[in-house]
Amino acid sequence: MTASKPRVLATRHFPPDVETRLSANFDAKLNPEDKLYDGPLLAKAAEGFDGIMCAAGDPLNAETIVRLPASVRMIATFSVGYEHVDVAAAAKRDIKVSNTPDVLTDATADIAMLCLLGAARRAHEGTSMLRTHSWIGWEPTQLMGVHVTGKRLGILGMGRIGQALAERARAFRMTIHYSNRTRLPTDLEKGAIFYANPDDMLPHCDFLSINAPMTPTTRKWVNAERIARLPKGAIVVNTARGGVVDDEALIAALKSGHLFAAGIDVFDGEPKIHQGYYGLQNAFLLPHMGSATVETRNAMGFKALDNLEAFLLRGQTPPDLVKAS
């Protein structure tokens, strides 16, 4: 008699190659219409399942995890960030949690550079001018932006993505300043200037890129006081988590002209973003697409499956196990 496969609930519609492998190795319930679960529905849908493959934004908070059926033994998130999963609550239920580190570094760093360049060179205004048929020809003072080459880039959070962004910025001969919880070894620092206190870095940033994780410490870290410490005409880029930025403060600085522009791929409360962003011509906005390449999304899914397969099929510790802090 053939043993039954472990059952896995997929909370979202994942890339085709990922779902093919998921269905091959597990008794999987897919979500082809990509309907969003709220907490109670997710807990109910998980009845009888051994694992949950979720994604950023899924409401796997403490309230939901308490309501999960006893059958659930693992949650694998299709993301590096796991703030949507209450890891401590999961640990109390002896539910393993895994994430997908290392596979979206380059794709996200590419988008950070796109946001930086798009904001500096007024790309939103340029494309809008063309698409609204309002471009009447080249003019000597038209859409004059900010030069990128040779400028100072401050990076808050010098992890994998921050370091990958620094590599790209060096191709533009930018001087790298950074702040991190710990200073990098010299071979990884590559001449970048370290600040133990990130506030001390701000006056040296023509560009400030947010690459720090979302934590209680970083919540609304980019506030009015810190924005005021940036040089007039600076540009803020955020491809990390929307909650690291105080939207009201950033929008006010963009309106006042203290900041020249901002390039943003992530938003607090997305997709219901602050309405103030929509009217800003100097905001280059993207819909959370940092990891959105076929190669990267497949790699994220395969990483999540590596963890599910290790634990549910072979009884091994998930290679990307997230531990409660």
Summarised one tens digit per residue, pLDDT across range 31-49 is 999 999 999 999 999 999 9
Topology at the third CATH level for domain 105-285: Rossmann fold (3.40.50)
Given pLDDT bands bounded at 50, 70 and 90, which one contains residue 3?
Answer: low
Quick one: pLDDT at residue 81?
Answer: 87
Q: What is the rounded CA–CA span in Å between residue 262 and residue 255?
A: 11
- Among the listed residues 241, 295, 309, 314, the single catalytic one is 241
Q: Please, where are the H alpha helices in 171-314?
A: 186-189, 198-201, 224-229, 247-256, 294-308
pLDDT in tens, 166-186: 999 999 999 999 999 999 999
Please tell me the class of the 7-103+294-313 domain.
alpha beta
* pLDDT for 2 beyond 60: no
Residue 270 annotated among the catalytic residues of the structure: yes
Closest CA to 135 of 206, 98, 143: 143
* pLDDT for 214 beyond 90: no
Domain chopping of the chain, boundaries: 7-103+294-313, 105-285
Report residue 106 as tokens.
């380059």
7-103+294-313 and 105-285 have identical folds: yes
Task: Please say whether the dihedral angle defined by the alpha carbons of residues 18, 23, 29 and 30, taken in this order, is positive or negative.
Answer: positive
Whether the bond into 271 is cis, omega within 30 of 0: yes
Share of the chain above pLDDT 90, in %: 95
Q: Which residues contact 108 (CB under 8 A, 6 or more apart)?
A: 161, 164, 239, 290, 291
Against a cut of 0.85, is the pTM above it? yes
Q: What is the mean pLDDT of residues 240-255?
A: 97
Residue 241 annotated among the catalytic residues of the structure: yes
Give Dmax over CA atoms of the chain in angstroms: 79
Residue 258 annotated among the catalytic residues of the structure: no
DSSP 26: S
- Among the listed residues 152, 288, 297, 309, the single catalytic one is 288
Residue showing tokens 């280059």: 284
